Structure 1
Amino acid sequence: MVHKIKPIAIHLPQFHPTPENDEWWGKGFTEWTNVTKATPLFKDHYQPQLPSDLGFYDLRLEEARLAQEALAKEFGIHGFCYYHYWFNGKRILNEPVDRKLKNPKEDLPFMLCWANENWTRRWDGQDQEVLMQQNYSAQDDVAHLQHLIPYFKDQRYIKVNGKPVFVVYKPYLFPNPSETAKRWREVAAQHGLELYLCHTVFSYTKNWDKLIDGFDAAIDFEPFGIRRESVFKEINRIKRESFNTNFSNRVIRNIKRAIGLPTQSYDNLLNKLEYDFMTKNIKSLKEFNFKMYPNLVPGWDNSSRRKNNPSLLLNNSSPELFEKWLKLIVSDFEPYSEEENFLFINAWNEWAEGNHLEPCQKWGRSYLEKVKKVIDEKDYLN
């Protein structure tokens, strides 16, 4: 039996001021602060990437959240997967979801993904400086799950056969992820719930490219997914070829870069990869012996956060190439059951990573239109 695919857009709630960000980054800081300061690093580099239809919104406002939901519904997005931030009882960026929970007008289905990393200065590329640390314990596992029960019981929360879907971003950071999953299930059972637990998988994390015991399904986290060669391996291969072409020119370029002078070859030193690489040599989901939901990105360019040293820049992304990738996914993805039919899109609004379905000033609604077109065509064929 063929089942309808449900697109889930990953949602970043970093678009409102918080006391923590005021302290760390300056009064009034939001994701827009970095987005608007972005500058091109080479010819035809698409920066800054600025919003069109929804503008520079503040997610504390009901009007902004309702506008996001209306746009998502119009183009066939089934629901949002909100990043959830929990540090031993301390929460950050929780206002949008907390306010949604109290507002029945915000009826788009949703789920949560625990972004369980340390909070660092990665917003400006300084990952090594920890601002808030994750400390794991059995007691915290229990307290965390108890806190989540009201969200899980909400009628809008996305479920599989009545089981709320809860995603963990990096389970390999846990001391024992299977034990954590077991404790969570025990706490949920005390409240009359069963859980549907998912975690992401990454190509750059050794030995964590499989489903962990105690979890129901994995999510291939693009552009760092496990269905192709690592983007970083490909970038390093390209750099080696470029560096080996002419030693003298390489030395000159590096000197210019070090002292801040412009060089036509500077972009060869960036962690830059052509977007169309993402559609090449993709392994079928059927090659994996566990449930893994597919994922794709509209783009990726975090130079607005990391200035002239982006960790990854997918160059020349376009709605047409995005459509090509999406078609590859839906032609390969056979849902695991009537309700296990999620296709994750990373992301709805990661503006500082150049990674957004939300309309921008260059492409307008084109990416959303491609989602609706491909999913509607798939449904028609079924």
Structure 2
Amino acid sequence: MIKTIKPIAIYLPQFHPIPENDNWWGKGFTEWTNVTKATPRFEGHYQPHLPSDLGFYDLRLEEARIAQEELAKANGIYGFCYYHYWFNGKRLLHEPLDRKLKNPKESLPFMMCWANENWTRAWDGNDKEVLIKQEYSFDDDLEHIKYLIPLFKDERYIKVNDKPIFIIYRPRLLPDVKKTISIWREEVKKAGFKDIYIGFAQNGEHNFEPSTFSFDFGFQFQPNFGSQKNPIEFNTTFTKKVIRKIRKKLGLSIQYSNYYYNYSDYSKIQKSLGYKDNIYPGITPMWDNSARRKNNPLILHDSTPEDYKEWLLFIKENYPWSTLPENFLFINAWNEWAEGNHLEPCHKWGSKYLQVTKEALK
């Protein structure tokens, strides 16, 4: 019998203003700024994605964070995985988690994923302009883990066999990830833990066996377009002639990529790829980052709660749950609104994605 599956929803904290974003994008910028600017790129394109039940929240507010947690608990979400932004001791977007840590009323379990990449102007298409560079050193690795250890000691922090979980989003960017992990393991043990349970986001860039780089596990980061064995056919709704016409009307470059994928087709291919040892399963309810990317967005078109539920049920019935010490299922994401990627209720679907998550995994 399958033990209880524990869905972990990836959580974006960028829904409150910070001085850096004020500097780079204008006073008061938050993720909602991109969300509300989105427009459909073609006939039948679902944009903008606008929140319903929770509204345009500010994550500095206790009421907003508690409402999120209550909604998650009511629909079977076990915990949140917060993106963690650390640049040689400088943190960004830490306010929501900092406030949660001080508030016992926010009881939902949590873990952290280090978003260890340069902060660039990707939102206006200039990926090459670096706003904050991610520098690496073993001294910084030591300072980083010393900062994390008090968080690991929080009773709400998710642990596996008394080992706190920590995830690196892009391990290949580290010059010597094995050495970094070794430093972290040593310090965590000094702090009284058995060890750290260290993982990474598996995708096309990071498609390796976890032990190769001293990891304990990976998880499927969905969507993983790099995992496609064969290209998904360009949806016939979007002929090249129509796309060219739309892009010209919007003032965009006529160059385009065939990145308008059908969600149902994509999920079928993902199901056909099977599962690997030491890699927790992952899923996305929907995906569309055209709110962030003016050029070459990636879109999973025509996603529905029914298709998502079918994929969830497939994972539930086919993943070899006994191979890993926990039954985590990583859902990307709880609230990536500017990537059209959210379990939180929206105007089009209401709370259906949450409802089917609860139904499928109960």
Taking structure 1 as the reference length, what is the TM-score of the superposition?
0.87
1:293 to 247, 266, 280: 280
Partner Cα distance (2:247, 2:37) in 1: 22
Match of 2:101 in 1: 101
Partner Cα distance (1:332, 1:294) in 2: 10
Partner Cα distance (1:267, 1:366) in 2: 36
| Structure 1 residue 125: Cα displacement | 2.5
Q: Which ranges in structure 2 are unaligned for 5 or more consecutive residues?
A: none
Match of 1:185 in 2: 185
Match of 1:281 in 2: 269
Per-residue deviation, residues 41-64 of structure 1 (Å, max 9, x unmatched): 111111111000000000000000
Per-residue deviation, residues 59-90 of structure 1 (Å, max 9, x unmatched): 00000000000000000000000000000000
Q: Is the 8 A contact 1:242 1:268 kept in 2?
A: no
Match of 1:260 in 2: 249
- Counterpart of 2:10 in structure 1: which amino acid? I
Query: Does 2:156 align with 1:156?
Result: yes
| Structure 1 residue 259: Cα displacement | 4.7
- Counterpart of 1:277 in structure 2: which amino acid? D
| Structure 1 residue 312: Cα displacement | 0.6
Q: Is the 8 A contact 1:278 1:325 kept in 2?
A: no
- Counterpart of 1:5 in structure 2: which amino acid? I
Partner Cα distance (1:293, 1:190) in 2: 28
- Counterpart of 1:2 in structure 2: which amino acid? I
| Structure 1 residue 213: Cα displacement | 2.9
Which range moved further: 207-216 or 313-322? 207-216
| Structure 1 residue 177: Cα displacement | 1.1
- Counterpart of 1:156 in structure 2: which amino acid? R
Per-residue deviation, residues 308-340 of structure 1 (Å, max 9, x unmatched): x24310000010010011111111123246851
Report SS of the residue matched to 1:166: strand
CA gap 1:261/1:197 in 2 versus in 1, 3 angstroms: closer
- Counterpart of 2:104 in structure 1: which amino acid? P
CA gap 1:316/1:65 in 2 versus in 1, 3 angstroms: same
Query: Does 2:2 align with 1:14?
Result: no
| Structure 1 residue 109: Cα displacement | 0.1
Partner Cα distance (2:271, 2:220) in 1: 12
Query: Does 2:131 align with 1:142?
Result: no
- Counterpart of 1:210 in structure 2: which amino acid? E
Match of 1:73 in 2: 73
Report SS of the residue matched to 2:37: coil
Match of 2:198 in 1: 197
Per-residue deviation, residues 133-175 of structure 1 (Å, max 9, x unmatched): 1111100100000000111000000000111000110101111
Q: Is the 8 A contact 1:35 1:352 kept in 2?
A: yes
Q: Is the 8 A contact 1:178 1:213 kept in 2?
A: yes
Partner Cα distance (2:44, 2:348) in 1: 12
Q: Is the 8 A contact 2:17 2:28 kept in 1?
A: yes
Taking structure 2 as the reference length, what is the TM-score of the superposition?
0.92
| Structure 1 residue 271: Cα displacement | 1.8
CA gap 1:165/1:317 in 2 versus in 1, 3 angstroms: same
Q: Is the 8 A contact 2:278 2:323 kept in 1?
A: no
Query: Does 2:314 align with 1:328?
Result: yes
CA gap 1:114/1:269 in 2 versus in 1, 3 angstroms: closer
Query: Which structure 2 residues correspond to residues 311-322 of structure 1 after superposition, within 5 A?
Result: 311-322=297-308
CA RMSD across the alignment: 2.6
Q: Is the 8 A contact 1:291 1:336 kept in 2?
A: no
4+ residue runs over 6 A deviation: none
- Counterpart of 2:301 in structure 1: which amino acid? N
Partner Cα distance (2:273, 2:262) in 1: 23
CA gap 1:40/1:100 in 2 versus in 1, 3 angstroms: same
Partner Cα distance (2:74, 2:118) in 1: 36
Report SS of the residue matched to 1:280: helix
CA gap 1:294/1:261 in 2 versus in 1, 3 angstroms: closer
Partner Cα distance (1:253, 1:5) in 2: 42
Query: Which structure 2 residues correspond to residues 354-373 of structure 1 after superposition, within 5 A?
Result: 354-373=340-359
| Structure 1 residue 115: Cα displacement | 0.3
| Structure 1 residue 229: Cα displacement | 1.5
Partner Cα distance (2:76, 2:296) in 1: 32
Report SS of the residue matched to 2:231: helix
Query: Which structure 2 residues correspond to residues 219-238 of structure 1 after superposition, within 5 A?
Result: 219-224=219-224, 228-229=227-228, 234=231, 238=234
- Counterpart of 1:125 in structure 2: which amino acid? G
- Counterpart of 2:349 in structure 1: which amino acid? W
Partner Cα distance (2:88, 2:225) in 1: 29
| Structure 1 residue 282: Cα displacement | 3.4
